[in-house]
Amino acid sequence: MVVDPGLEPGRILAVMRDAGLEPAAILCTHGHADHIAGNAALKKAFPQVPLIIGEGDAPKLIDPDLNLSALFSAPLVSPPADRVVRHGDSVQAAGMSFQVLETPGHSSGHVVFLYKGQEPWVVFGGDVLFQGSVGRTDFPDGDTELLFASIRDQLFTLPPETEVYPGHGEPTTIGEEMDTNPYVGGGAI
């Protein structure tokens, strides 16, 4: 699985080539340019691999204004989604099953992918929850209160040992963020 192939798809492709791997799916947590910029290169290399994104952010793939790339004078588009997902859907690929949780706030259609096939569980979280921080909400479809509700209602209901792999920065755990995150955890301001 490739999650949020960002601005350096060549590095992803080189690692896969060197390891003799092919992706089973491309999972996009949301449609901002820094998370979808590598989609075209991956789909060119592996056209049969499905590109999957939450229903609410699917339009961002093909619209530089919506994916914010036009804002930075570097308009880009991704191939369109092969599949859109909603809360509660599951994605099956490479012998794994990922549960989709809708987590709007950073973007209106943001989703995370939860893998329960091992202990501890793993969340591929995009730009919702970071180690000691949360995703930005100052973009056109961001909403701070909705982001906080997504974290509390969707992520903080998971076991504390659940690992979180955010779209930026170091991994963390649900428990660590519940206890220490200054925005939504025990140390909330």
Could you read off the pLDDT of 14-43 as tens digits, one per residue?
A: 999 999 999 999 999 999 999 999 999 999
For residues 182-189, average pLDDT: 80
Residues 6 or more apart from 92 whose CB is under 8 A from it?
Answer: none
CB atoms within 10 A of CB 53: 30
Mind listing the domains of the chain with CATH numbers? 2-180 (3.60.15.10)
Q: Name the nearest CA neighbour of 62 among 82, 46, 85.
A: 82
In tens, the pLDDT along 36-87 reads 999 999 999 999 999 999 999 999 999 999 999 998 889 999 999 999 999 9
pLDDT at residue 189 in the model: 58
104-128: pLDDT as tens digits: 999 999 999 999 999 999 999 999 9
Confidence band, pLDDT 50/70/90 cuts, at residue 186 = confident
- Predicted local confidence at residue 72, as pLDDT: 85
**Three-class secondary structure of residue 32 per DSSP:** coil
CB 123 within 8 A of CB 164: yes
Looking at residues 151-175, what average pLDDT do you find? 97
> What confidence tier does 187 reach under pLDDT thresholds 50, 70, 90?
low
How large is the average pLDDT for residues 158-171?
A: 98
- The pLDDT value recorded for residue 36 is 98
pLDDT tens track for 126-140:
999 999 999 999 999
Q: Which two tokens stand for residue 72?
A: 């930075």
Q: Please give the pLDDT value at position 73.
A: 87
Better pLDDT: 187 or 1: 1
Residue with tokens 């789909």: 43
